[in-house]
C-alpha cells in the first residue's frame, strides 16, 4: 500500500501512540518523511488528538529529514506499538492488519537503512565478573566438581547477583564489593583444598534437611518402584575414610519400617525404624573420595500390617483398612547429617585430581617442571587463553611456598587457590580496540570463544574451542557454524534452559511460591518440584531438538509423571519418572500457558489473578509490558456491598470503573480472563473462587474475541512475529550480558528474518545471535569516548 493511500488509517494508527516522560521533537528516518506523509501528518495533527500528543511531548507534526537517525528511539517505540496492536486505544477506529504491517514495515526498513549506514555494536565493558552460576559451572568444568559439600555451597559463600531485565549476568551489575571479594577468597581456599584432597581439611559436617512439605507416603522421582519418601544427596567427599551418617526420623508408627540407604546405587545399609517418635540412627560407612550420590528411602514392609489399626479405625466409623492406614502417621525422614572422614587415608584418585595432576614427579628434580606443566594446562583452561610465562611466574612462588610447607600436592593446592582469585579467572576481560576512525572492530578469536561458551554453556570454553581460537581459525568459513552446533549438542547446553529460559520466564520464583494450605490443601513440595521439572524438560526438548520456538506456545506434548498427570487429570501415566506425553492438539494444555509452573507464578496464594497472567503474557511473551500502576491504586474489592463474594470478572469490572486503572487493565485483563479455567495450581476447573461458572470469553483491545486458553494461544500465534522478536531480544540480552536499546533493534530484526527461513528453529536464532554485529564486534575506544 503506497504511503499516499494510507489516509485516515494512518491517523488512527499514529494517534496517541505513546506517552513520553520528556518532550521529544520527532525526526523521521530517511524515507519516512516524504511529502505525502508530511502532508498527512500535518492534517492529522490538527485533529482532536493533537493537544494530547503535544502534552505528551511527542510532536509528530514536526518531522524532519535533516537528521535521519535523530529520533530512532522514538520511532522504535512507534514500531513496537504497531506490531503489538497496542494503539489506537480501544473504541477508536483501527486499520486492518495489512495496513498495520505496511506502516510498521516501512518504518523498520528506514530504521534498518540508517543502522546499516552507521553500524554500532553497542557498549560492552572491557571486563566483567563471572556470575555465581557461571562461577559454579566453571568450577564444575575445571575440576569435575559438580556438587560441592553443603558447607561449601556457593549460595552460602557468595552473595546472590543482582538482576535487571530478567537476567543476572548483565555486566554493569556484576561489580566486586568487599563482601563478594571475601566470598571468592573463601571459596578459592575451600575448593582448592577439596580438589587436591588436603588431609588437613576440617571434618566435614553437613546436614541435609528434608522439606516438611515433601510427601513421604509416595514414591519420589527416580527412586525404585515400591519405595516411598526419602531424599537424595549429591556431594563430593574430600578423602577416603569412614563417614558417619546420622539419620533423623519424625513421626510415629505401630509397625517397624525399613529405611534403605544406598551410595551410588548400591545398598549400604537397611535401618529398622522402630515405633518411637523422633529417633536418630547412625550408619558408619567406608567411602572413597570424590563425587557420590547418597539416597535414603523407605522400602515395603516384609509382612502384613497388624489388625489393630484397622479395628480402631472401624470403631471410629472409618471405612476399613484404608481409613486405618490414613489414620496413622507414617514415619518420615527428617534429616541426614554426614560427618567425616574419620581415620582418613589421605588423597585418592578423584575426577578433580585426574584433571589437575596431568603429571606426577618421579623425583625432587621433577617437581618444578611438573608443576609448570600442571599450572600451564590449568591456566589455559581457567584464563580461556594459552598460558604465558608471566602467568606461571606469578603462580610458581605460591607453589614453592606450599611445597616447602607440605609437599608437592600442597604446593599445587596453594597455586590453585591463587589462580581461583585471579582477575584473569574471575573476570571476562576484553582488550579495548584503538581504531582512529572510530569504526567497530572485531573481538579476537579467543574473546569470541569466551563469548560463545558463556552464552551457550554459562561456562568456560573447552579445550577444542580454545585450540581453534588460539590458532586463529574460529572465523574460518563454516567453523563458527560447526562449533555452535557441536556446543548445542553438548549436555552443558542445558544451561540455556536452566539459566536463560529460567530467568526469562521467572521459573526460579517457583521455589518461593507458597499457596494457601487452606485453599490448596493438596499442594506440597513434590508437586512444586514436578511443576518446575515439567517446564524445564519441555523447554529443554524444544532447544535440544532444534524445534521452532513457536512450539513453546503450541506444542502438542509435555513431560509428566504420575503425580503431575493426576493433578492435571490426564489418565494412563504411572510411576514417578517423567516421560513425554502426547496432548490433544485442540486442548488447552499445549505450550507454556498450559503448564502449572507458569500458572502458579501468575497467581496469588489464595486465588488466580487475571492481571498477573495478562501482564505476564504481554511482558514475558510479547515484550509489550503495560505501564507500571500509578500510586495509591485501590485494592481489589472481592465482595459486594452485602458481603456476597464477587466473581473475578465482577471484581475486575468494578476495579476498572476507576479511569486511572481502565486503560492498562483493558490490555491485561482480557488475556487473564481467558485463562481463568486454570486455578492457582494449574488444575482445570469450571467454577471460580466465588462458586460462579467461569466465563472465559474476552474481547481484546483490538476488538478480537478470545475464548479460553486455546483462544489465547491462537491469538499469540496470530502475532507470532512479536513473540519471536521478543524471544530474540531476550536471547541477545542474555548473550551480550547487557541491556538492549533502540540501536540494537535493527540487529534483532535481521536475526528474526534470517531464522524465518528455518521456521524460527532455535538453532537458527542462536546462530543469528552469534553471527550478529554486537556479538562479533565491539566499539573502538575513539567511538566510546566520543559517545561518553
Mean pLDDT of 492-520: 95
pLDDT confidence bin for 667, thresholds 50/70/90: confident
Distance separating alpha carbons of residues 300 and 306, to the nearest angstrom: 15
Write down the pLDDT at residue 624.
85
What phi, psi does 428 have (nearest 5°)?
A: -90, 115
Q: Which of 157, 189, 210 lies closest to 337, judged by CA?
A: 210
For residue 631 the three cell numbers come to 500510586
Residue 640 binned pLDDT confidence (cut-offs 50, 70, 90): low
Mean pLDDT throughout 379-389?
97
Task: Please tell me whether the peptide bond between 341 and the residue prior to it is cis, using omega within 30 degrees of 0.
Answer: yes
pLDDT band at 5 (very low <50, low <70, confident <90, very high): very low
Residue 22 scores a pLDDT above 70: no
Spatial CA neighbour of 727 closest among 765, 674, 691, 690: 765
pLDDT tens per residue across span 178-197? 888 899 999 999 999 999 99
Query: How large a percentage of the chain has pLDDT more than 90?
Result: 57
pLDDT value of position 275 = 63
* Strand, helix or coil for residue 414: helix
Q: Using the 8-state DSSP alphabet, how is residue 660 labeled?
A: H
d(CA 331, CA 308) in angstroms, rounded, equals 17
Would you say 775 and 430 are in contact if contact means Cβ atoms under 8 Å apart? no
Quote the DSSP letter at residue 217.
Answer: S
Which H or E run contains 230?
strand 228-237
Answer whether the bond into residue 54 is a cis peptide, omega within 30°: no
Q: What is the rounded distance in angstroms from the CA atom of residue 453 to the CA atom of residue 296?
A: 37
Closest CA to 60 of 116, 103, 124: 103
Q: What does the alpha-carbon distance between residue 311 and residue 636 come to, in Å, rounded to a whole number? A: 51
Establish how many alpha carbons lie within 13 A of residue 217's alpha carbon, considering only the half-sphere containing its beta carbon. 10
**What is the DSSP track for 547-568?**
-BTTHHHH-SEEEE-HHHHHHH
Round to whole Å and give the CA distance between 565 and 335.
29
* CA distances to 206, 265, 270, 279, 512 from 335, in Å: 10, 20, 16, 11, 21
Long-range pairs of 64-68 with CB within 8 A, sequence gap ≥ 24:
64/25, 64/27, 64/28, 64/33, 65/27, 65/28, 65/30, 65/33, 66/27, 67/27, 68/27, 68/28, 68/29, 68/30, 68/114
Which of 98-107, 121-130, 139-148 is modeled with the greatest confidence? 139-148
- Among the residue ranges 73-87, 597-611, 741-755, the one predicted with the least confidence is 73-87
The enclosing H or E element of 532 equals: helix 525-544
How confident is the model at residue 371, as a pLDDT? 97
CA distance 192 to 310: 58
Q: At what angle do helices 708-718 and 720-736 cross, to 10 degrees?
A: 70
Q: Partners of 245 in the beta sheet? A: 283, 338
698 SS3 class = strand
pLDDT attached to residue 13: 39
- H, E, C per residue of 248-276: EEECCCCCCEEEEEEECCEEEEEEEECCC
Measure the CA–CA gap between 623 and 618, rounded to whole angstroms. 6
Residues 230 and 232: their CA atoms lie apart, in Å, by 7
Q: How confident is the model at residue 648, as a pLDDT?
A: 62
Please provide the distance, in angstroms rounded to a whole number, between the alpha carbons at the two ends of the chain: 42
Q: Which residue has the higher pLDDT, 36 or 455?
A: 455
Q: What is the pLDDT of residue 757?
A: 95
pLDDT above 50: residue 152: yes
Identify the band that residue 485 occupies on the pLDDT scale cut at 50, 70 and 90: very high
Q: What is the pLDDT of residue 64?
A: 46
131 confidence band (pLDDT: 50, 70, 90)? very high
Contact 430, 774 (CB under 8 A): no
- Which of 59 and 288 is assigned the larger pLDDT? 288
Q: pLDDT for 398-410, tens place per residue?
A: 999 999 999 999 9
pLDDT at 453 over 90: yes
Closest CA to 449 of 776, 227, 158, 229: 776
Instruction: Provide the pLDDT for residue 225.
Output: 81
Please give the pLDDT value at position 651. Answer: 65
Q: 477 burial class (0-12, 13-18, 19+ CB within 10 angstroms)?
A: exposed
DSSP 573-642: --SSS-EEEE--TTSS-SSGGGSHHHHHHTB-SSSB-HHHHHHHIIIIITS-PPPPPPTTPPPP--B-TT
3-class DSSP state for residue 281?
Answer: strand
**At 579, which helix (H) or strand (E)?**
strand 579-582
| Rounded-to-integer distance, Cα 111 and Cα 524, Å | 52
Distances (CA, A) of 410 to 145, 192, 368: 19, 10, 13
Contact 25, 59 (CB under 8 A): yes
Distance CA 384, CA 467 (A): 10
Nearest to 591 by CA among 675, 707, 685: 675
Q: What is the pLDDT of residue 14?
A: 43
How much of the chain is in helix, strand and coil states, percent to nearest 5? 45, 15, 40
Centre a 10 Å sphere on the Cβ of residue 572 and count the other Cβ atoms it contains.
Answer: 7
User: Over 60: is that where the pLDDT of 4 sits?
Assistant: no
Size of the chain in residues: 788
Lowest mean pLDDT among 162-176, 334-348, 474-488, 752-766: 162-176
Q: What is the pLDDT of residue 748?
A: 97
Of the candidates 533, 528, 536, 534, the one whose C-alpha atom is nearest the C-alpha of residue 498 is 536
Task: Calculate the alpha carbon distances from 207 to 180, 202, 245, 420 in Å.
Answer: 25, 15, 10, 27
Task: Provide the pLDDT confidence category of residue 427 given band limits of 50, 70 and 90.
Answer: very high
What mean pLDDT is predicted for residues 514-542?
95
Of the CA atoms within 13 Å of residue 273, those in its CB half-sphere come to 29
Quote the pLDDT of residue 25. 41
Measured CA to CA, the distance from residue 430 to residue 780 in angstroms comes to 12
- Kindly state the cell numbers that stand for 325: 492406614
pLDDT for position 556: 96
- Are 336 and 213 in contact, with CB atoms under 8 Å apart? no
pLDDT-derived band at 717, boundaries 50, 70, 90: very high
**Residue 671, Cβ neighbours under 10 Å: how many?**
26
What nine digits make up the cell of 546?
532444534
Pick from 309-318, 362-371, 487-496, 590-599: least confident: 309-318
CA angle centred on 734, ends 731 and 739, rounded to 5°: 105
Arithmetic mean of pLDDT, 406-425: 96
Q: What is the largest CA-CA distance in the chain?
A: 94
pLDDT at 156: 87
Give residue-wise pLDDT tens across range 276-328: 566 789 999 999 999 999 999 999 875 444 333 333 333 333 333 333 333 34
Q: Which of 598, 570, 769 is nearest to 680 (CA)?
A: 598
Has this prediction a pTM greater than 0.75? yes
Stretch 139-162: mean pLDDT: 91
Amino acid at each position: 500500500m503506497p504511503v499516499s493511500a494510507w489516509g485516515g488509517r494512518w491517523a488512527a494508527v499514529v494517534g496517541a501512540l505513546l506517552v513520553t516522560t520528556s518532550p521529544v521533537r520527532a525526526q523521521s528516518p530517511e524515507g519516512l518523511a516524504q511529502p505525502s506523509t508530511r502532508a498527512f501528518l500535518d492534517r492529522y495533527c490538527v485533529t482532536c488528538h493533537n493537544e494530547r500528543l503535544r502534552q505528551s511531548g511527542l510532536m509528530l507534526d514536526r518531522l524532519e529529514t535533516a537528521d535521519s537517525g535523530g529520533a530512532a528511539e522514538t520511532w522504535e517505540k512507534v514500531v513496537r506499538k504497531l506490531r503489538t496492536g497496542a494503539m489506537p486505544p480501544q473504541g477508536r477506529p483501527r486499520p486492518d492488519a495489512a495496513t498495520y504491517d505496511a506502516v510498521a514495515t516501512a518504518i523498520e526498513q528506514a530504521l534498518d537503512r540508517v543502522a546499516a549506514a552507521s553500524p554500532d555494536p553497542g557498549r560492552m565493558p572491557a571486563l566483567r565478573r563471572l556470575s555465581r552460576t557461571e562461577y559454579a559451572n566453571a568450577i564444575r568444568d575445571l575440576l569435575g566438581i559438580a556438587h560441592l559439600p553443603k558447607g561449601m555451597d556457593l549460595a552460602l559463600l557468595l552473595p546472590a547477583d543482582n538482576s535487571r531485565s530478567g537476567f543476572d549476568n548483565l555486566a554493569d551489575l556484576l561489580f566486586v564489593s568487599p563482601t563478594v571479594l571475601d566470598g571468592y577468597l573463601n571459596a578459592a581456599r575451600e575448593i582448592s583444598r577439596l580438589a587436591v584432597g588436603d588431609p588437613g581439611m576440617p571434618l566435614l559436617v553437613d546436614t541435609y534437611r528434608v522439606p516438611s512439605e515433601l510427601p513421604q507416603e509416595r514414591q519420589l522421582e527416580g527412586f525404585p518402584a515400591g519405595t516411598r519418601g526419602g531424599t537424595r544427596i549429591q556431594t563430593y567427599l574430600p578423602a577416603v575414610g569412614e563417614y558417619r551418617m546420622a539419620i533423623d526420623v519424625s513421626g510415629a508408627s505401630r509397625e517397624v519400617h525399613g529405611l534403605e540407604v544406598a551410595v551410588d546405587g548400591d545398598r549400604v545399609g537397611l535401618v529398622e525404624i522402630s515405633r518411637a517418635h523422633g529417633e536418630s540412627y547412625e550408619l558408619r560407612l567406608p567411602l572413597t573420595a570424590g563425587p557420590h550420590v547418597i539416597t535414603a528411602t523407605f522400602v515395603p514392609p516384609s509382612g502384613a500390617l497388624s489388625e489393630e489399626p484397622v479395628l480402631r479405625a472401624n470403631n471410629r466409623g472409618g471405612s476399613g483398612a484404608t481409613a486405618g492406614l490414613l489414620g496413622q502417621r507414617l514415619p518420615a525422614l527428617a534429616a541426614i547429617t554426614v560427618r567425616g572422614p574419620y581415620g582418613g587415608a589421605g588423597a585418592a584418585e578423584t575426577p578433580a585430581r585426574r584433571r589437575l595432576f596431568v603429571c606426577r614427579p618421579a623425583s625432587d628434580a621433577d617437581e618444578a617442571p611438573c608443576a609448570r606443566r600442571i599450572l600451564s594446562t590449568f591456566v589455559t583452561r581457567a584464563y580461556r587463553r594459552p598460558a604465558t610465562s608471566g602467568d606461571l611466574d606469578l603462580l610458581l612462588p605460591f607453589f614453592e611456598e606450599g611445597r616447602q610447607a607440605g609437599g608437592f600436592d600442597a604446593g599445587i593446592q596453594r597455586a590453585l587457590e591463587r589462580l581461583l582469585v585471579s582477575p584473569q579467572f574471575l573476570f571476562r576481560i576484553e582488550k579495548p580496540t584503538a581504531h582512529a576512525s572510530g569504526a567497530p572492530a572485531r573481538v579476537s578469536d579467543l574473546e569470541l570463544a569466551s563469548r560463545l561458551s558463556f552464552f551457550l554453556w554459562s561456562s568456560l570454553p573447552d579445550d577444542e574451542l580454545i585450540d581453534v581460537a588460539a590458532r586463529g581459525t574460529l572465523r574460518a568459513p563454516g567453523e563458527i557454524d560447526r562449533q555452535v552446533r557441536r556446543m548445542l549438542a553438548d549436555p552443558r547446553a542445558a544451561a540455556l534452559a536452566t539459566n536463560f529460559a529460567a530467568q526469562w520466564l521467572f521459573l526460579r520464583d517457583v521455589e518461593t511460591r507458597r499457596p494457601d494450605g487452606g485453599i490448596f490443601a493438596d499442594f506440597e513440595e513434590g508437586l512444586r518440584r514436578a511443576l518446575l521439572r515439567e517446564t524445564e524438560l519441555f523447554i529443554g526438548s524444544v532447544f535440544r531438538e532444534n524445534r521452532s520456538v513457536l512450539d513453546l506456545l503450541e506444542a502438542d506434548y509435555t513431560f509428566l509423571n504420575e503425580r503431575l498427570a493426576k493433578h492435571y487429570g490426564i489418565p494412563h501415566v504411572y510411576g514417578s519418572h517423567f516421560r513425554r506425553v502426547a496432548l490433544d492438539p485442540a486442548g488447552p494444555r499445549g505450550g507454556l500457558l498450559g503448564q502449572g509452573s507458569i500458572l502458579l507464578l501468575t497467581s496469588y496464594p489464595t486465588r488466580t489473578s487475571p492481571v498477573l497472567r495478562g501482564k505476564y503474557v504481554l511482558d514475558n511473551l510479547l515484550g509489550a509490558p503495560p505501564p507500571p500502576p500509578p500510586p495509591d491504586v485501590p485494592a481489589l474489592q472481592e465482595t459486594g456491598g452485602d458481603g456476597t463474594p464477587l466473581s473475578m470478572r465482577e471484581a475486575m469490572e468494578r476495579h476498572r470503573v476507576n479511569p486511572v486503572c481502565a486503560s492498562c487493565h483493558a490490555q491485561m485483563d482480557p488475556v487473564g480472563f481467558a485463562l481463568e479455567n486454570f486455578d492457582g495450581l494449574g488444575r482445570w476447573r469450571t467454577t471460580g473462587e466465588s462458586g460462579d461458572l467461569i466465563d472465559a470469553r474476552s474481547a481484546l483491545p483490538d476488538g478480537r474475541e478470545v475464548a479460553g486458553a486455546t483462544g489465547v494461544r491462537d491469538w499469540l500465534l496470530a502475532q507470532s512475529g512479536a513473540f519471536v522478536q521478543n524471544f530474540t531480544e531476550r536471547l541477545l540480552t542474555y548473550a551480550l550480558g547487557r541491556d538492549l536499546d533502540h540501536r540494537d533493534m535493527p540487529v534483532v530484526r535481521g536475526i528474526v528474518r534470517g531464522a524465518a527461513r528455518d521456521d524460527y528453529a532455535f538453532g537458527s536464532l542462536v546462530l543469528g545471535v552469534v553471527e550478529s554485529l554486537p556479538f562479533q564486534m565491539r566499539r573502538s575506544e575513539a567511538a566510546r569516548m566520543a559517545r561518553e
